[in-house]
């Protein structure tokens, strides 16, 4: 497996732990915006320490401040606002399902923005993972109005924009600093909607949420985007719900249905199909040409 695809798979696996940590955090009565605020704050502390101590660099940069301000608004604040609002007016299953329309948007945007080709194996993989996500989502109530449908699809679109903007960011900046600046501005947008006091019992789970799906997940993904097309990365990243249902089965004893298992097989199969292409040129070369 090409290194970039392995990084995407590992990133998505980290994101798959999000629901586990969130389940424990919600038991302490922490609301969604407060959870995301502390998740981002702790992730910034971890990431800033990593950049300063191990990479020996300043995590802050004055370059492209406006870019990071927009990136934080879209990739952090807008995404979570749309997602949680969709959950509120519909259901978690419906919101999660529409988040994973992101690969379809990524294929289109990858073509328009970066000139990434829409190949046969990419189209087949996309259809496989979209069908797989529908099956993994389980019994979802589709009897919703136009507003949840609009906000849900918008969530998927905004989610796809994260990868597009990250691709621009990592071209000439260290992936860790791109993430740091994006989270920093995202924190500023989240602060007015969050509570600053949290139960002490929730802190270990918030630290886990900050470290695994946030720090590790997004650092791995940002590094992967230096080597992999954003459209292909988005397709492979749909293994996240597979990891989530597997962890829920192991840790909480949640039932795994035959359709969910079939969906997981389709998602994993699609992730394999999308990177099986002989003669693909490493993307580092194309990025160097841009410079």
| Burial of residue 288 (number of CB atoms within 10 Å: 0-12, 13-18, 19+) | exposed
Average of per-residue pLDDT across 238-246: 94
Lowest mean pLDDT among 47-61, 120-134, 189-203, 243-257: 243-257
**3-class DSSP assignment, residue 8:** helix
Average of per-residue pLDDT across 183-194: 96
> Which DSSP string corresponds to 93-108?
HHHHHHHTTHHHHHHH
| 201 secondary structure, DSSP code | G
| Burial of residue 8 (number of CB atoms within 10 Å: 0-12, 13-18, 19+) | buried
* Span 191-225, pLDDT tens digits: 999 999 999 999 999 999 999 999 999 999 999 99
**Pair of tokens at residue 29:** 């009565």
**Number of structural domains the chain divides into:** 1
Predicted pLDDT at 275: 79
Predicted pLDDT at 277: 61
Q: Does the structure show a pLDDT above 50 at 56?
A: yes
Predicted pLDDT at 287: 30
Residue 225 and residue 174 in contact, taking contact as beta carbons nearer than 8 Å? no
Q: Does the structure show a pLDDT above 60 at 79?
A: yes
Q: What residues have CB less than 8 Å from 183, skipping those under 6 apart?
A: 40, 43, 44, 47, 72, 76, 214
* Span 137-182, pLDDT tens digits: 887 777 788 999 999 999 999 999 999 999 999 998 999 999 999 9
- Domain housing 24: 3-290
Angle, helices 65-72 vs 146-169, to 10°: value is: 150
* Span 88-144, pLDDT tens digits: 888 888 888 999 999 999 999 999 999 999 999 999 999 999 999 999 988 777 778
∠ CA(164), CA(221), CA(161), 5° rounding?
20
Predicted pLDDT at 1: 56
Residue 177 and residue 51 in contact, taking contact as beta carbons nearer than 8 Å? yes
Average of per-residue pLDDT across 251-264: 92
Region for 253 from its dihedrals, namely left if φ exceeds 0, alpha if ψ lies in -120 to 50, beta otherwise: left
Q: Does the structure show a pLDDT above 70 at 282?
A: no
Displacement of CA 145 from its chain's centroid (Å) = 26
Q: How far apart are the first and last CA of the chain?
A: 27
Average of per-residue pLDDT across 3-12: 94
* Span 219-233, pLDDT tens digits: 999 999 999 999 999
Consecutive H or E run containing 156? helix 146-169
Cα separation of 104 and 109, whole Å?
9
Cα separation of 291 and 289, whole Å?
5
Predicted pLDDT at 281: 45
pTM: 0.90
Lowest mean pLDDT among 54-58, 198-202, 273-277, 282-286: 282-286
């Amino acid at each position: 497996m090409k290194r970039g695809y392995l990084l995407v798979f590992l990133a998505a696996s980290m994101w798959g732990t999000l629901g586990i940590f969130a389940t424990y955090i919600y038991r302490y009565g922490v609301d969604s915006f407060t959870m995301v605020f502390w998740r981002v704050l702790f992730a910034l502390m971890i990431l800033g320490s990593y950049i300063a101590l191990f990479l020996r660099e300043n995590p802050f940069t004055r370059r492209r401040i406006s870019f990071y301000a927009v990136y934080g608004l879209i990739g952090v604040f807008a995404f979570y606002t749309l997602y949680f609002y969709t959950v509120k007016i519909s259901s978690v299953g419906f919101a999660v399902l529409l988040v994973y329309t992101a690969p379809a948007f990524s294929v289109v945007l990858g073509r328009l923005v970066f000139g990434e080709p829409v190949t046969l194996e990419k189209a087949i993989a996309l259809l496989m993972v979209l069908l797989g996500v529908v099956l993994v989502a389980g019994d979802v109530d589709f009897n919703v109005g136009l507003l949840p449908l609009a906000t849900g699809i918008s969530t998927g679109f905004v989610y796809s924009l994260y990868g597009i903007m990250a691709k621009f960011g990592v071209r000439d900046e260290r992936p860790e600093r791109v993430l740091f600046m994006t989270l920093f501005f995202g924190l500023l947008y989240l602060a007015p909607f969050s509570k600053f006091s949290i139960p002490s019992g929730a802190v270990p789970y918030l630290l886990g949420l900050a470290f695994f799906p946030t720090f590790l997940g997004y650092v791995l993904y940002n590094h992967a985007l230096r080597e992999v097309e954003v459209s292909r990365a988005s397709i492979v990243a749909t293994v996240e719900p597979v990891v989530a249902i597997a962890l829920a089965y192991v840790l909480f004893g949640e039932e795994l249905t035959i359709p969910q298992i079939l969906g997981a097989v389709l998602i994993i199969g699609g992730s394999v199909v999308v990177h099986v292409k002989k003669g693909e040129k490493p993307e580092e070369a194309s990025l160097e040409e841009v410079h």
